[in-house]
Structures are given as structure tokens and as C-alpha cells.
Homo-oligomer: A and B are copies of this chain.
């Protein structure tokens, strides 16, 4: 416990609170905060759309390659985020496998746009969602799905109308983790999306740059980021994290 709280306390004690107001009123900070929140939320939504089905496959299907798939899902956890950013370039960059086609056909490039921020954050944060939702699906009672099948529901209907509502708390917990990780994403974002105020400069990027020139200001900025995310997490109440196993 102390191990987690003390560093935070250290930051709080040492933070130059006099810097707080001037920092907060900088237009760039507001912009970065807004962009961070918007892109982390979008990344979470994308992760939900893509990640929940993957989790379903991991938890419910009898595919041979499931453990390979599960290992692949954890790749973005181990890959240094900067390398992750390079990998994204290799696929979606102007010269990338898909990116070139996009560029030549629609004259559209992904890097250096807010879209790129969302993609980078999704790449890094989605595994958290997948792993949490898989856990929730494993814990859920699969017999409800049998019951739905005997009532004429195909796999997709069953998933949408029975499984998903049943594991909603687990999905919510996964989404929280995913959102938190997306909010803190730095390496892949700066590599793949670059850093431009208003379009791609999220809070962690602003913090990192501030560290170069104004370390005290950087600490204040990261505390602001923390405060916002903690406030959000606290608003999601206990019950979102699933039924309690408290033995009373």
C-alpha cells in the first residue's frame, strides 16, 4: 500500500502549487486535457468494439490457436511503446502496408492526426480490455447461453442480448482499465501521431515536454491529469466492478 501511496504523496508534497494556476490557465493545457479525454474515450470505445469479440473468442470458442491468440493480445504490453509506434507506421503510415493504399486511393494519411492518436492509444490499451473481459466471460455462467440457444437465438443474438448484459460489470471494469491506460499513453502516440498542440498533443506529451524545460510545471501537469482520472474512477462505483464475494 505505502508503496503505491508514498510516491504519490511525494509528488503532492513537492509539487510547486504556486505553479498550478498559471499552468492551468495556459490555453495549451486546456487543449491537451480535452484532447486526452476525448481520445482516451474514443480509444476505449474502439477497444470495446474490437476487443469484446476477441475476448469472447478467447473465453468461449474451442479454436486450437487460442493460447497463441492470447499471447498475441499481450504483445502490446511487452513491446516498448516507441517500437509499437514504429510498427503502426509500418502498417498505417504513408509508406505502410495499408497506409500507402489509403494515401494513393483517397489521398488520406493517418499519421499526425487525432485519428492517429486514437489508433495508437487503442493499440496499447486494448489488451487490458480484452484480458478483463475474458476473465468476466469465464466467470459468467455459460448455461444462460444454452438457454438462449434453446429459445432460438443464434450465437450473435445470444452474445448481444444475453452474454453482454450478463458480463456488463466485467466489461465496465475492463473499460476503466483501458481508459486509464489510454489516458497515460505516451510512447506510441508521440511516435505514430506526433505532437502538435490541438490535434495530437495529449497531456502525457505535454508533461513530457514540460519536463524538458520546466520540471516543476510538469509535475503539476501530471497531478492535474491524475486528479481528473481519479475523479472519473471514483465516480464509477463499486458495483461496476461486479458482484461482491464478501462472505457475510
Contacts and interface: CB of A to CB of B under 8 A. Distances in A.
A244 B135 CA distance: 10
A104 B59 CA distance: 53
B54 A1 contact: yes
Among the interface residues A9, A90, A177, which one has the most CB atoms of the partner chain B within 10 A?
A90
Main secondary structure of the interface of A (DSSP, over half): helix
Nearest to A237: B67
Nearest to A135: B135
A142 B80 contact: no
Interface in A1-45: 1, 3-11, 13-14
Nearest to A177: B131
A145 B82 CA distance: 46
B80 A245 contact: no
A47 B178 CA distance: 21
B62 A7 contact: no
A78 B245 contact: no
A201 interface: no
A62 B248 contact: yes
A184 B145 CA distance: 38
Contacts of A97: 6, 9-10, 13
Given A75-B230, A246-B60, A247-B60, A87 B11 contact: yes
A183 interface: yes
A98 to B, nearest CB: 7
Interface of A: 1, 3-11, 13-14, 50, 54, 59-62, 66-84, 86-88, 90-91, 96-98, 122-123, 126-127, 131-132, 134-143, 145-146, 170, 173, 176-177, 180-181, 183-184, 186-187, 204, 207-208, 211, 215, 218-219, 222, 225-226, 229-230, 233-234, 237-238, 241-248
Q: Which 4 A-B pairs have the closest CB atoms?
A: A10-B90, A7-B87, A142-B247, A139-B139
Given A10-B87, A80-B204, A131-B173, 16 more contacts: A1-B69, A3-B123, A4-B73, A6-B97, A7-B91, A11-B83, A60-B245, A70-B233, A71-B233, A77-B177, A79-B222, A86-B215, A86-B219, A142-B247, A145-B247, A146-B247
